[in-house]
A and B are shown apart, each in its own frame.
Chain A
Amino acid sequence: MSNALPPFQRFLDSHRDVVWRVLVSAVGPDEAEECFQETFIAALRAYPRLRADSNLRAWVLTIASRKALDAHRARTRRALPVEDVTAVQDGETARRSAASPREPDRELWDAVKKLPSRQRSAVVLRFVGDMPHREIAQAIGCSEEAARRSLHEGLVKLRKAVPA
């Protein structure tokens, strides 16, 4: 049986947590819900055609990062004037950042969400998804070198945006 695909339910149980973390990190909790559904529905549709020896974790994170990208694009298309909103958010961000160290650093994650898409995908897949560069490259559809570069550029921007 080891050379057969696991029942989809087991695949879902094994990977739902990491998919959820990656999606919330990439698009925030509100859109993560929709992206999560889309990711696993797409996975379910394609599942029987998958080779049994596929890296299922990398496969589903690749789908998730594409769904996150779609969500970002959709949001950009319906972009609203945000200046006032930003002002309000900044006040809130400052308050929330000061909260317990167990909570995510709002300033950092807001900066992640503002990264160019390839850098954002690379950062989220590398750190939240714990993926090697080779798999990140496959997920975002570029060379391994380009993936390394995107990751590096993303980290440089984050260090500037969020001084320690």
Chain B
Amino acid sequence: MNNGKQVTSTALGVKTTSLEDALRRGDVENAGAAAQAERATERLRTRIAQEGLADVSYDAVDSPFGTLLLAATKRGVVRLAFPEENVDRVLDGLAQRLSPRIVRSSAPFERARRELDEYFLGKRRSFEMALDWTLIGTFGQRVLRATSAIPYGGVLSYAEIASEAGSPRGSRAAGSALGANPIPIVIPCHRVLRTGGALGGYAGGLERKRWLLELEGALQPRLAVS
């Protein structure tokens, strides 16, 4: 295995090895140790949440799209990731841009989870959860704040949003800002379409954009044969 233990392959050497092997196994029963460590970790996470020791919390949230990842700082929800996004990469990005003090915890998301559930059931038309805008640049904030003002059931064009954000000729830039929306669904970038009504783009896929717009009644549901 390691260091030249075979050098002392005498009776004493054998004894040495068995003592060292017993020490290597540790003062734990192998089967039980992992479960104990797991329980201790659960209590640790509870304490971290109660004492607010993490800078960023995250958790999984069920949705009709599959499992979403929500991340929040003390200010509010900072990121919503669709199921196909790589969780490790999302968390690496948050570690680098916000803080590596990232711990999984469900407690900070009770409200967000409830609001999303209600929204997906068609029982909620606007979100009240607190948001943290720090991942969004200055221009992005202008665009996405204008986007947040589009009411449920309504839509605007990229050109209209650009103009709302104060740069009437910046519809391409507005498109990129919308595409980079770190909190989709909650900041409703799906409510921005091409002039003339074509769907345009959506980071979560056009199927989802259409689904959300149908849920909100902004688009007529397509017939099965369309």
Contact = CB atoms under 8 A, between A and B. Distances in A.
Interface of A: 1, 4-10, 12, 16-17, 19-22, 24-25, 28-29, 32-33, 36-37, 40-41, 44-45, 47-48, 102-105, 108-109, 112, 123, 126-128, 130, 155, 158-159, 162, 164
Interface stretch (B46-54, B111-119, B134-142, B186-194): B46-54
B100 A21 contact: no
A90 to B, nearest CB: 18
A47 B48 CA distance: 14
Interface stretch (B19-27, B155-163, B169-177, B212-220): B19-27
Contacts of A28: 27
Chain A contact surface mostly: helix
B92 A1 contact: yes
B23 A123 contact: yes
Contacts of B47: 37, 41
B22 A108 contact: yes
Nearest to A155: B19
A1 B96 contact: yes
B10 to A, nearest CB: 13
Given A45-B53, A162-B19, 13 more contacts: A4-B100, A5-B95, A10-B88, A17-B34, A21-B37, A44-B53, A44-B54, A108-B23, A128-B24, A128-B27, A130-B24, A155-B20, A159-B19
Interface residues of B, number: 44
A37 B43 contact: yes
B19 A8 contact: no
A161 to B, nearest CB: 10
B26 A37 contact: no
A127 B100 contact: no
B107 interface: no
B207 interface: no
B101 A20 contact: no
B29 A102 contact: yes
Interface in B39-75: 40-41, 43-44, 47-48, 53-56, 58
A49 B38 CA distance: 27
Contacts of B101: 8, 44, 47-48
Interface of B is mostly: helix
Interface string B97-141: 001111110000000000000000000000000000000000000
Given A29-B36, A123-B23, A41 B53 contact: yes
Nearest to B97: A4
Given A20-B36, A41-B53, A8 B27 contact: no
7 contacts: A9-B102, A16-B37, A21-B28, A36-B37, A48-B101, A108-B22, A155-B16
B100 A7 contact: yes
Contacts of B92: 1, 4, 6-7
B50 to A, nearest CB: 12
B40 A33 contact: yes
Contact of A12 (B56, B96, B103): B103
Contacts of B43: 33, 37
Interface in B182-201: none
A104 B91 contact: no
B48 to A, nearest CB: 7
A128 B26 contact: yes
Contact of B33 (A21, A33, A109, A159): A21
